[in-house]
A and B are shown apart, each in its own frame.
Chain A
């Protein structure tokens, strides 16, 4: 069980291998990778700047992970979120949930992402191909997606 906030990219394969090493009891692994979309609402996105609230980010991510662990029988989990300057196509977030059977891993990964999006203190600023930049607005769909777990 671990959470990490970092500027560097991550390697999904390497992170997965490290997480499950020494766990022959893990029968199911679900990984989710979120990337910077090159297009958002029809606009060409050149870059994203991710700001966060140091310490609260890690604390909130750990609370979310602890809740997932309390709700599903997970053998291992990992959440990595990047901050700083990112370009279209770059990785932003990685969630891995590993369990004995697939159902827990699928559900926990969905829960972790939905809660991360609505509770972890990260903010995105978009820069379009034409050079305009603005803060990304929170989406109601993300809030309703998180509500389905209550």
Chain B
């Protein structure tokens, strides 16, 4: 298990990020050179216009790793589930 081994993760999308991407969740094989949340966003943006549109303002889209809020600079590590969503509006 090298540092750069491909890493299978589930990506989930919520609210308008989900609507723009066009799906609720997907399982993807991440290339080994993706280390942080920001790297993943950059990789997703190249997958199609719907991703480019969803992450057009990447600073607005929030992320969680295994259901805990994280920053774009956070390393993915052994994360199994990554979620992307707009700033929360509950309460």
Contacts and interface: CB of A to CB of B under 8 A. Distances in A.
A113 B64 contact: no
B83 interface: yes
B87 interface: yes
Interface residues of A, number: 28
A10 interface: no
Interface string B72-91: 00000000000101111111
A102 interface: no
Interface string A120-132: 1111110000000
A51 interface: yes
Given A135-B15, A135-B16, A53 B91 contact: no
B89 A59 contact: no
B53 to A, nearest CB: 15
B71 interface: no
B91 A34 contact: yes
A7 to B, nearest CB: 14
Interface residues of B, number: 16
Contact of B90 (A123, A125, A137): A123
Given A125-B15, A135-B15, A53 B64 contact: yes
A66 interface: no
Interface majority SS (helix, strand, loop, mixed), chain A: mixed
Contact of B89 (A53, A60, A81, A137): A137
B67 to A, nearest CB: 4
A138 B90 contact: no
Given A53-B12, A125-B15, A135-B15, A120 B67 contact: no
Contacts of A119: 69, 88
Nearest to B14: A53
B15 A117 contact: no
A93 B89 CA distance: 12
Contact of A124 (B12, B68, B69, B90): B90
B91 A120 contact: yes
A121 B91 contact: no
A8 B82 CA distance: 29
A141 to B, nearest CB: 12
Most buried by B among A50, A113, A121: A121
Interface string A10-48: 000000000000000000000000100000000000000
